[in-house]
Amino acid sequence: MEHPLTKCTRMFFLLGMVMIELQSYGSLGCWEDERAGLMKLKDAFDGPTGSSALSSWGGGEERDCCKWERVVCDNATKRVSRLSLSEARDSRNLWSLDPSLFLPFQELQNLNLGDDALIGFRGVLNLSKLEVLDLSFNSFTEIPSLDALQSLRSLNLGYNYYLNNSHSFKELTNLTNLETLHLGYNDLKEIPSSIWDLTSLKALSLSGNGPNGLLPLRGFCKLVNLQELDLSDNGFEGNLPSCLMNFTSLRLLELSNNKFEGAIPSNLFPVLKSLEYISLSHNLFEGSFSFGSLANNSKLEVFELVCDNNGLKVDTENPPWTPLFQLKVFRLSNCKLNDKSRVLPNFLLNQFELRTIDLSHNSISGMIPMWLVANNTRLEFLNLANNSLTGPLTLDLNSTHLGMYWFDISSNHIQGELPSLISSAFPNLTYLNLSSNSFQGSIPPSLGDLNVLDLSNNNFSGQLPEHLVTGCASLSYLRLSNNCLQGQPLPSKSNVTKLQALFLDSNSFSGEIPRGIMNSSGLMLLDLSDNSFSGKVPDWIGDLPLNSLVLSKNALEGPIPSGFCKSKELLFLDLSENSLSGGVPSCLNNLSSLSFLHLQRNEFRGPLPNFPSLVSASSLVTFDVRDNKLQGKIPGWINSFSNLRVLLLGGNSFEGPIPLQLCDLRKISIIDLSRNELSGPIPSCLRGIKLDDIKAFHDPFSAEMASSTYLYGTSDSYSYENQLDVDQSSVLFQSETDFTEEVEFITKSRSETYKGNVLYFMSGIDLSWNKLTGPVPHEIGYLSDIHALNLSHNHLTGPIPESFSNLRQIESLDLSHNSLSGLIPPKLVELNYLSVFTIAYNNLSGRTPERKAQFATFDEHSYEGNSLLCGVPLERRCTTN
């Protein structure tokens, strides 16, 4: 037996060692070895300039590392337990971090290296007490070895770029205690098979990677202990796995943005009674789904189902039921909701905790349900857009909803005046969309300090209220199009300094273009078209950072000032249908980003100037100068517009031959040279243009504009507590009609307007009303994808080429008023899409085409003026002579 004195000696010795250890951090508060380790980390994170987000470490009088930012210590041991090094380095270049720097932190429980550009991070982390490891937002070239992390409970490897195959995950099978695994938003083309052996998992996220096809059910169905499952933003297909019914502990089910199909099993949700969060949006579900199957899910707080293919019918009424849950987020959009009755879901009468309601695009009828706002006093987001709701908008005079920030009842049948107390009822509103209704009267004096306001397509009248243009300091998007507003819109004292998009088109505003626009120095989109603005185009407008400018259909006059051309970022310019004069300004050379140019129906004169800057940029997609007084030859440099899709030069006085360089426009889809003085033959080389490449036609506004102007995005402010940190569904505002490209082209004997996506499928050539001579080149018959061809009112001779029977997609063919001779090719009857056909007033002879298919619909007007033609539908019958 040990002597008592020896035992006491040992105890005093151990106590002394503890005292020494305590003295090692003493007044510093943290352990000296870990403080030294943190300083080494700081040195490693210092960028090339010697600075980093950790510059405060070790500086000044604060030497207690437990009080440094991004550092958390255990209260009892004073050991560093958490490190947050997200975005800790100024430089975004790839760099190397030695993992041995973490060895001093033996009891670290949480490590976050998020969003730093790490490379070559290898070796074994000696963090045996680690509870949470977050390596998200990095650019690793290799995954660190995880062999030593046997007891790890949470692993976050989300938002990386190096995780592109399953080989990096062979160590995962060692993590037998792992409960949370976040691999979201990497580049995993297939799911690592080792994941299916982690049966201790309670939370799994594979979102935003890209695997597609069927889920590997043999492995997936093992994870019956899951409480949270996020498979969103992938390409998974097939029916929902039946084994989901075994996941009885499931609280969160996030399956949005996949390709799951078939019916939503009606017996699934009654079994999963622990569910609190369900998101099934943007899949391919079909059949019928009874919302009443969720009646007994008493814990349910979030339900989201946005339908894409309109093949799913959702019934909330039959059979009758009463919910046991109180939802906080309810999004049911673009589905066939209550397809027969079109009624609002009746169960909402029993919901009083809602923060988000989205029932848009459902064709719901009846009176606008403002009782939803009254019943749910904490409501923040209400979207009832694109339904068939009627009645006036009535608000409770004695009720104030401080949380409401988004209110959208656009595209309904709401009538009456807009209540003047709306800003009092919703004092914190930031988004208000009442467009495409039947509101009338004046705009209320105050609408609050909004970010987005859309009152377009109503019957509002009068002038703009002063508060709207002087008191809305946060306003960034204002759309008042298609109303009856008048006066001067933005006086010199206007104060909407954050305005980025302004749409005042199709009203009755008058006077000169208001200089108050200059106070919105960040303006990117401006549409003042279809009003009564007069005077000259102001020189100062070029000082705005405009991407798009539309001043068409006004009474503007005079030349375009040179200062106007300073907008270097301008992509879309429409000055059409005014009384602008002078030459096409050579200062357009400065607009090297210009893609869409509309100058038609003005008084421009002279030849087309040389556009060297535009040529070098090759950015132009549409060039429209129709119906002016331009003259001279079509310049040969036209072939330098390598991306040109639409060339409209009709209705001028251009003369001389059609330049052969026109044949170099390989992406062209619409050509209009009509109503000029062009002479000579039709170039046979036109067969080389690629009219079948029209699907490459793209929207004029790409991401660089959309990020700041087109889109008004926000996230539901209701926060669901979950281990995976699943984002709440974001809401995206995008106007579908903002500056959509529109082209007017004569086809089928009438002027047609082709707009937006329709331009993907339209192609045509119009050379009518010129002085062209010679035969019609047979090579034109090789333009097999052309939809409209007009060669009328020229001096063309010779026969109709037999090759025209190859124009399989043609819908309109006009060869009238020429001097064509010979027989009509019989094979033209094979043109099955032809709806307009005229060869009138030529010198053609012989029989008319056989009366079958489309040719059975053409009457005598298609053939009149050809004295040697015979046969139906003409009165002249054919004889053997």
Is 50 exceeded by the pLDDT of residue 808?
yes
**797: Cβ contacts below 8 Å, ≥ 6 apart:** 773, 774, 775, 818, 819, 820, 821
CA distances from 571 to 392, 479, 550, 588, 702 (A): 41, 20, 11, 12, 10
**Above 50 in pLDDT, residue 55?**
yes
In sequence order, the β-bridge partners of residue 305 are 332
Q: Identify which of 175-179, 331-335, 633-637 has the greatest average pLDDT.
A: 331-335
- Under CATH, which architecture does the 621-701+738-821+829-870 domain have? Alpha-Beta Horseshoe (3.80)
Mean pLDDT of 732-736: 39
275: three-class secondary structure by DSSP: coil
pLDDT value at 26 more than 70:
no
Tell me if 648 sits within 8 A of 754, measured CB to CB: no
Query: In sequence order, what are the residues at sequence separation of 6 or more whose Cβ sits closer than 8 angstroms to the Cβ of residue 576?
Result: 552, 553, 598, 599, 600, 601, 602, 624
pLDDT for 711 equals 33
Cα(638)–Cα(656) distance, integer angstroms: 15
- Distance of alpha carbon 754 from alpha carbon 210, whole angstroms: 36
**Largest interatomic CA distance in the chain:** 143
Which range among 14-18, 651-655, 712-716 shows the weakest confidence by mean pLDDT?
712-716
Can you give the pLDDT at residue 604?
Answer: 95
* Tens of pLDDT, residues 249-297: 999 999 999 999 999 998 999 999 999 999 999 999 999 999 999 999 9
Out of 165-169, 508-512, 669-673, least confident range = 165-169
C-beta of residue 469 within 8 angstroms of C-beta of residue 496: yes
CA dist., res. 630 & res. 612, Å (int): 19
Long-range CB contact pairs, 141-148, < 8 A, 24+: 142/168, 143/168, 143/169, 144/99, 145/171, 146/171, 146/172, 146/174, 146/175, 147/171, 147/174, 148/124
Tens digit of pLDDT for each residue in 849-868?
A: 999 999 999 999 999 999 99
The predicted pLDDT at position 801 comes to 96
User: What pLDDT is recorded for position 747?
Assistant: 66
What does the DSSP assignment read for 19-85? HHHHHHHGGGSS-HHHHHHHHHHHHHH--TTS-BTTTTTT-TT---GGGSTTEEE-TTT--EEEEE-
Alpha-carbon distances, residue 62 vs 24, 56, 119, 372 (angstroms): 16, 9, 32, 54
- Tell how many helices (H) and how many strands (E) occur in the chain: 8, 62
Distance CA 450, CA 423 (A): 10
Most confident of 71-75, 445-449, 612-616, 717-721: 445-449
- Is 480 within 8 Å of 504 (Cβ atoms)? yes
What per-residue string of b and e applies to 184-216 under the rule 16 or more CB within 10 Å gives b?
bbbebeebbebbbbbeebbbbbbbbbeeeeebe
pLDDT of residue 611: 63
380-394, 511-525, 614-628: segment of lowest average pLDDT: 614-628
C-beta separation of 659 from 680 below 8 A:
no
Amino acid at 347: F
What percent of the chain stands above pLDDT 70? 76
Higher pLDDT: 36 or 382? It is 382
Please report, for residues 520, 522, 558, the alpha-carbon distance to residue 543 in angstroms, rounded to integers and kept in the order given. Answer: 11, 10, 20
User: Binning pLDDT at 50, 70 and 90, where does residue 699 land?
Assistant: very low
* CA end-to-end span of the chain: 140
| Token pair in block for residue 730 | 């974001």
| Secondary structure class of 6 (helix, strand, coil) | helix
Confidence of residue 749 (pLDDT cuts 50, 70, 90): low
Quick one: pLDDT at residue 76?
A: 81
CA distance 865 to 790: 18
Tokens 């046969």: give the residue: 871
- The pLDDT score that the predictor gives to residue 689 is 78
Q: Which amino acid is at 123?
A: G
Lowest mean pLDDT among 140-154, 155-169, 191-205, 487-501: 140-154
pLDDT in tens, 483-493: 999 998 988 88
Residue 440 gets which letter from DSSP? E
Measure the CA–CA gap between 253 and 261, rounded to whole angstroms. 16
796: exposed, middle or buried (Cβ count in 10 Å: 0-12, 13-18, 19+)? buried
Confidence of residue 19 (pLDDT cuts 50, 70, 90): very low
Tell me the average pLDDT across 228-247: 94
Q: What are phi and psi of 858, to 5 degrees?
A: -85, 135
Confidence category of residue 133, pLDDT binned at 50, 70, 90: low
Average pLDDT for 736-744: 59
Cβ–Cβ < 8 Å for 619, 643: yes
- Give the tens place of pLDDT for each residue, 145-161: 555 455 556 666 666 65
- Confidence check: pLDDT of 705 > 60: no
What is the domain partition of the chain in residue ranges? 621-701+738-821+829-870
pLDDT, greater one: 11 or 498 = 498
Average pLDDT across the chain, whole number? 82
Residue 11 clears pLDDT 80, i.e. is over it: no
pLDDT digits (tens, 9 = 90+) for 293-338: 999 999 999 999 999 877 899 999 998 999 999 999 999 999 999 9
The CA-atom distances, in angstroms, between 376 and each of 38, 239, 268, 350 are 50, 36, 29, 10
| Partners of 847 in the β-ladder | 870
Average pLDDT of 403-429? 94
